[in-house]
Amino acid sequence: MIEQRLDCLGEACPVPLIKAKKKLSNMKSGEVLIIKVDHSCAMNNIPEWANKEGYHVNIKEVDLGLWEIYLIKTK
Amino acid sequence: MSIKDNVYYKTFLKEPWPYAVGAVLLGLLNISMLISTGDAWGVTSHFATWAAWIYQSIGGQPEAWLYFQEKGNAAELANGFLKDMQSLSDIGVIFGALLATLLASQFRVKKIKSWKQVAGAIIGGLLMGYGARLSFGCNIGTLFSGVASMSLHGWVYWVFIFIGAWIGGKILLRYLI
Amino acid sequence: MDEPKHLFHYTFWKVKIMTEIKTSINIKTNKKRDNQIFIGIALLVAIIGIGFFIGNHQPKSALLWGLGTAAGFILQRSRFCFAASLRDPLLTGGVSLTKAVVIAIATASVGFAAFQYLAAVKGSVIPGNIDPVGIHTVVGAVLFGIGMVIAGGCASGTLMRVGEGSLMQMITLVFFIIGSLWGAKNFGWWSINFMPKQGVFLPDVFGWPLAIAIHFTLLLAIFILADWFGSKKNNEEG
């Protein structure tokens, strides 16, 4: 499984979502994107968008106020 | 079992609440504010008062400006911090958010990543401060409270802030990402 | 403990159109520091203590301190963001906050209208934020709209994120306050040249029944429009 990483620490909305979108559009189906965020709104709006797109999402809280969002590109 | 695994802890203090829950609670909160204090919720006018207090302390005379001669603003300026109850609600917002973040164990100092962010913060802050004075408030005072008060200025604000946000989005994509 | 790859502890988001729930939060922190709950409880005690202290001098100030704290708590817990409600539809296609803001305004409107109607019957000044409308409203709104997008949050959002520990939003707050002083200084010029003396209160123009009907119809229309726009965007992309 190919994993791509995106570091969005310190970025405020809507920057993480825009970056994630851009990155995902260059990825192939089946690849995984791991987005690191520390913005509490991003761990809400990225999954929301990804759900609408039909991607699989898993959020992992790796530290206090620090999340890794796993997105599996399904199509 | 530690508290972190408790299902109620997760529902109320850890997981984000659905937006609709926040919306209804904020609506009720604004009603409580209007009824208990006589004023609807507002945020930015207190920023102007804070700035004026600081300006006065370094020798400025903002009380001569037309803005601070309007009745409410003049009183707020003259009252000083402890008597100016409205601005306590602003400080309360900071502490309420801090409390929520700590109870969820999610507090973290978020560092500044780039100079572009700093530029955005400075220019954005100045534009918001200036703009809010012209439109008699911000998204809270004019959009939320103004529209809820059935005032025309709230509705006009809603239309044009949408356009402003669209322009802002273009600038963000072009220069700040 | 070795954790299984797809151990989903609890579901997080209910997506109305999806048949399967695809989002899950996996809270397994791999670090030593345990939690901040006890600092949070200490802060809660301090907030209540400060409330009583203020209340001894100024009971109403204590009330606002409490209401403000509640507002910050609700904003943070529900990730509420007025800036996103205005920015996201065109920038990212997200409309859920737009709809949430309509709900918030509609909820507040019910209480506001009742309170205002009582005041009108008694013949006293109508409460609420009713301010002059004109070119200044347009300019102010556009400037504010640009500012909140490039700064990453509006006034309430900035305060909330200062509480969350964002250094960038602290800079925003400082310049927000400076900008307010600048705006207050120029307010006189705008006031003399553009501002009418009084605001326009819709029930004064249309009468109470029609004004309330127009008000809630518009809110409903915005809600439906946002919903339609959101699903249209989604279909285009998907």
Q: Give all chains having 3 or more CB-to-CB distances under 8 Å with chain A.
A: B, C
- The amino acid present at C162, given as its one-letter code, is V
The DSSP letter of residue C11 is: E
Lookup result for tokens 């997080």:
C12
Q: Does C15 touch chain A (CB under 8 A)?
A: yes
pLDDT the model gives residue B82: 65
Instruction: Compute the 3-state secondary structure of chain C and give helix, strand, coil in percent, each to the nearest 5.
Output: 70, 5, 25
pLDDT digits (tens, 9 = 90+) for C47-78: 999 999 989 888 888 999 999 999 999 999 99
- The model carries a pTM of 0.91
The ipTM is 0.95
Residue A15 φ/ψ, nearest 5 degrees: -60, -45
Q: What are phi and psi of B11, to 5 degrees?
A: -65, -45
The angle that helices C135-151 and C82-91 make with each other, rounded to 10 degrees, is 80
Does residue B9 contact residue B3 with C-beta atoms inside 8 Å? Answer: yes
Q: What is the mean pLDDT of residues C89-94?
A: 92
At A8, phi and psi to the nearest 5? Answer: -115, 30
User: Could A51 and C18 be called an inter-chain contact, meaning their C-beta atoms sit closer than 8 Å?
Assistant: yes
C residues 148-177 lying closer than 8 A (beta carbon) to A: 152-153, 161, 164-166, 168-169
- Minimal-distance CA residue of chain A relative to B107: A65
Domain ranges of chain C: 1-78
CB C104 within 8 A of CB B26: yes
pLDDT at A53: 86
Does residue C6 register a pLDDT over 60? no
pLDDT at B103: 95
Domain of residue A67 covers 3-72
Contact criterion met (CB below 8 Å) for B82 and A39: no
Residue A29: predicted pLDDT: 87
pLDDT band at C222 (very low <50, low <70, confident <90, very high): very high
Write out pLDDT tens, residues B103-134.
999 999 999 989 999 999 999 999 999 999 99
Look at residue C8 and tell me whether its pLDDT is greater than 90.
no
Stretch C197-204: mean pLDDT, rounded? 94
The Cα–Cα gap between C90 and C99 comes to 14
CA-to-CA dists, residue C193 to A15, B99, B138, C186, C196, angstroms: 39, 45, 22, 11, 9
Read off the tokens for B34: 């209007």
Cα four-point dihedral sign B156, B158, B163, B168? positive
The residue of chain C with its CA nearest to that of A22 is: C92
Is there a contact between A21 and C92 if contact means CB atoms under 8 Å apart?
yes
Bigger pLDDT: C30 vs B6: B6
Number of domains in chain A: 1
pLDDT attached to residue B142: 97
| Contact flag C144-B127 (C-beta cutoff 8 Å) | yes
Say if residue B16 is preceded by a cis peptide, omega within 30 of 0. no
Average confidence (pLDDT) over C15-19: 33
Which residue in the list A8, A10, A13, A64 is annotated as catalytic?
A13
pLDDT in tens, B18-65: 999 999 999 999 999 999 988 999 999 999 999 999 999 999 999 999
Three-class DSSP category at C214: helix
- The answer to whether C180 contacts B47, with C-beta atoms less than 8 Å apart, is yes
Q: Which of B7, C17, C13, B15 is nearest to A57 (CA)?
A: C13
Dist. CA A61–CA A43, nearest whole Å: 10
Nearest-by-Cβ selection for B122 from C158, C171, C186: C171
**pLDDT at residue C205, rounded to an integer:** 96
**Per-residue pLDDT, B76:** 87
φ and ψ at residue C230, rounded to 5 degrees: -60, -45
Q: What is the 3-state secondary structure (H, E, C) of C94-136?
A: CCHHHHHHHHHHHHHHHHHHHHHHHHHHHCCCCCCCCCCCCHH
Q: Give the nearest chain A residue to C154 (CA atoms).
A: A13
CA distance B110 to B118: 13
Element (H, E) at A6: strand A3-8
Report which of B10, B65, C209, C101 is spatially closest to residue B73, judged by C-alpha positions: B65
Distance, in Å, from the CA atom of C187 to the CA atom of B136, rounded to the nearest integer, reads: 10
* Mean pLDDT value across residues B145-166: 97
Give the pLDDT score at C100. 97
Per-residue pLDDT at A70 exceeds 80: yes
Please tell me which residue, B77 or C46, carries the higher pLDDT value: C46
3-state secondary structure A26-46: CCCCCCEEEEEECCCCHHHHH
Average pLDDT along chain C: 87
Q: How far is A40 from chain B (nearest CA, A)?
A: 8
**How long, in residues, is chain A?**
75
**How many whole angstroms separate alpha carbon C153 and alpha carbon B47?**
16
Q: C149 phi and psi, to 5 degrees? A: -75, -45
Strand partners, A6: A35
SS3 C148: helix
**Which of C79, C81, C85, C158 to probe by mutation at the A interface, max A CB count within 10 Å?**
C79
Q: State the CATH number of the domain containing residue A32.
A: 3.30.110.40
Per-residue pLDDT reduced to its tens digit, A31-51: 999 999 999 888 888 999 988
Mean pLDDT of chain B: 92
Nearest CA of chain A to the CA of B102: how many Å?
A: 9
A65/B16 touch (CB, cutoff 8 Å), yes or no: no
Closest to C28 in 3D by CA, of C6, C46, C61, C3: C3
Is A14 at the interface with chain C, CB within 8 A? yes
Q: What is the pLDDT of residues B78-105, one digit of tens each?
A: 887 766 667 899 999 999 999 999 999 9
Q: Cα(C162)–Cα(C173) distance, rounded to whole angstroms? A: 8
Is A13 a residue of the active site?
A: yes
For residue C24, what pLDDT is reported? 60
Which residue in A15, A38, A43 is closest to B110 by CB distance?
A: A38
Question: pLDDT tens digits for C136-179?
Answer: 999 999 999 999 999 999 999 999 999 999 999 999 999 999 99
What percentage of residues in chain A have a pLDDT greater than 70?
A: 100
Q: Are B16 and A44 in contact (CB under 8 A)?
A: yes
Residues of C (184-203) whose Cβ lies below 8 Å from B:
184-188, 190-192, 199-203
Helices C37-57 and B85-103, interaxial angle, to 10°?
160
pLDDT band at C101 (very low <50, low <70, confident <90, very high): very high
User: C73 - beta bridge partners?
Assistant: none
Q: What's the rounded Cα separation, in Å, for the pair C183 and C175?
A: 12
Over range B139-146, report the average pLDDT: 96
